[in-house]
Amino acid sequence: MAQPVTTDRIVIVGAGMGALYAALKLAPRPVLVISPETLGEGASSAWAQGGVAAAMDTADSPLKHAEDTVRAGAGTVDAKVAEHVTHDARDYILDLTDLGTPFDRDAEGHYMLSREAAHSMARVVRVQGDQAGRQIMETLIAQVRRAPSVQVMEGVMASGLETDGGVVTGIWVQTASEARSLPVLIRGAAYLLAGGGSGGLYALTTNPPRIRGQVIGMAARAGAVIADAEFVQFHPTAMDIGEDPAPLATEALRGEGATLINKQGERFMRGLHPDMELAPRDIVARAIFAQTRAGNRPMLDTRGALGTEVLTRFPAVAQACARAGIDPVKEPIPVAAAAHYHMGGIDTAIDGRASLGNLWVCGEASSTGLHGANRLASNGLLEALVFARSCANGIAETLGDVVPRACPEVSIAFQPGGVAPDPAAVARLRREMTDHVGVVRNAAGLKAALRVIAGLEAEQANCPGFLNMTATATLIAAGALMREESRGGHFRDDFPEARPDMAHRSRLTLKQALALRDKVMKETV
């Protein structure tokens, strides 16, 4: 076993928007950012097509934004968190603008705003139609590259946490390539997890390939409390063109008037919800899923609403269509419901702290109470920014006024011999999650999934990366089995109605989830 590496740097796991924004806000404190890929590659933030929700219009207000957030969350949003996040949303847009983000403006310089599902008005600030995530990330990356206080270690991923008495004392890391190295322990001044969600645990997902619940899983394995694990958001309009991950047909297309039709040309959202295509995402996702299951081939039709403008205003969609040989000007785009965003994650207080000492969390790996059972569109990037700053402030306050001025960069000589997850086991896990812990769930399917997860885990017991995946998968399935109702993104066809007595958040440790899994394993199939 290699000797631990000790540094005065704050160790940040992840390289998305939350991680980079926190690194900048921590300056001049020395920071080490652990990134599995080159900055800008493989982070969910860079793939975000929507934008950042903020009350920028004079007719809008943070209070209205908070009310929409609470309404969309199906009874489990923490109203105080919603008010906290929306209150200063405008300031984050202005800050990103000052950093160089080229948000879309009109001829008079006003921010151009789009409306997305479950928002009462247009308040989503965008960049080049569907390029918000990529452009904001490029802006932050440029700033981080220039920041003397930030060291970025690329091609390296975290695989576990070291704890002592409920306090995090180190992070295990190894090379991110298929030829994994042996893990090395880094002991830093403080620890921030900002490494993404868990959409890639599903066979059909819009998430980057590496986002498979590893960060949530490593925290859970260390004893952290996980909140709202069962609430996974399935995006209604992933492009069903045979790609993994599935390209996203941004919700802004429906905001611009694009409609959902099936192979018979029927607008199947009529009669299902007053807002039709702009109904909350869980309702639209289930409608898409039902059409798919019935063999009706759901499609997104942009022809009447956008015509040729779809090619210039939504370049990511146009490029994906071109790869698939689809001309969206002349034909509708096949779509399917795909795992998109995990409302659940590491239980995170309003100051960004996790239940383990010396550990902070921001971004999709966290569960702050903002999203409830059904995330309001384009609140994800806003939450990452708000909690990145909260985490940075909390870490700075905890460490005190003394800032190390001369902090050498961390250098690690990795040794071969590590274990990478078996691709066949990962594929089986993803298929099981889609089949039994997906858009529609029931007790029989969830129990079947828990059995398969346990079997795969036993086969891969010497691979920390895979154990992090199965930990998160177990928590999602166990949380879904325990919640005997339907609410937001969690739908049980054996309990199709919401129960008023369950209109609250859930909290679960991996120990509790494993106890339930063990109980299921002992049942007669």
Would you call 359 helix, strand, or coil by DSSP? Answer: strand
Task: Determine the average pLDDT of the residues in 128-157.
Answer: 90
Q: Which of 281, 483, 492, 517 does the annotation list as catalytic?
A: 281
Reported as a single tens digit per residue, the pLDDT across 445-498 is 999 999 999 999 999 999 999 999 999 999 999 999 999 999 999 999 999 999
- Is 64 a residue whose pLDDT tops 80? yes
* In contact, 198 and 489? CB cutoff 8 Å: no
Rg of the chain over CA atoms, in angstroms?
Answer: 22
Condensed to tens digits (0 to 9), the pLDDT of residues 276-325 reads 998 888 899 999 999 999 999 999 999 999 999 999 999 889 999 999 99
- Give the Cα separation of 227 and 373 in Å (integer): 11
Q: How far is CA 189 from CA 291, 352, 357, in A?
A: 52, 16, 12
Q: Which CATH class is domain 232-340?
A: alpha beta
Percent of residues, the chain, with pLDDT higher than 70:
98
Structure token pair of residue 127: 């960049």
What single DSSP character describes residue 222? T
Nearest one of 201, 457, 458, 509 to 346, comparing CA atoms: 509
Strand ranges in 323-404 using DSSP code E only, listed in sequence order: 333-342, 345-347, 359-361, 366-367
Buried-state track 455-489, b at ≥16 Cβ within 10 A, e below 16: ebbeebeebbbbbbbbbbbbbbbbbbbbbebbbbb
Mean pLDDT across the chain:
94
Domain boundaries defined on the chain: 232-340, 423-522
Which has the closest alpha carbon to 83: 68, 93, 97? 68
Crossing angle of helices 510-522 and 443-459, rounded to 10°: 100
Say if strands 259-261 and 333-342 run parallel, antiparallel, or are unpaired: unpaired
How far is the C-alpha of 375 from the C-alpha of 515, rounded, in Å? 29
pLDDT exceeds cutoff 70 at 86: yes
Q: What secondary structure does DSSP assign to 51-114, as a single string?
A: -EE---STT--HHHHHHHHHHHTTT---HHHHHHHHHTHHHHHHHHHHHT----B-TTSPBPEE
Per the CB < 8 A criterion, the answer to whether 86 and 69 are in contact is yes
Q: What is the pLDDT of residues 49-63, one digit of tens each?
A: 678 999 999 999 999
**Residue 107 buriedness (CB in 10 A; 0-12 / 13-18 / 19+):** exposed
Say whether 210 is catalytic. Answer: no
Which CATH number applies to 423-522?
Answer: 1.20.58.100
Determine the Cα–Cα distance for residues 328 and 319; give it in Å rounded to an integer. 11
In the chain, pLDDT over 90 holds for what percent of residues?
86
List, for residues 210-220, the tens digit of each pLDDT value: 899 999 999 99
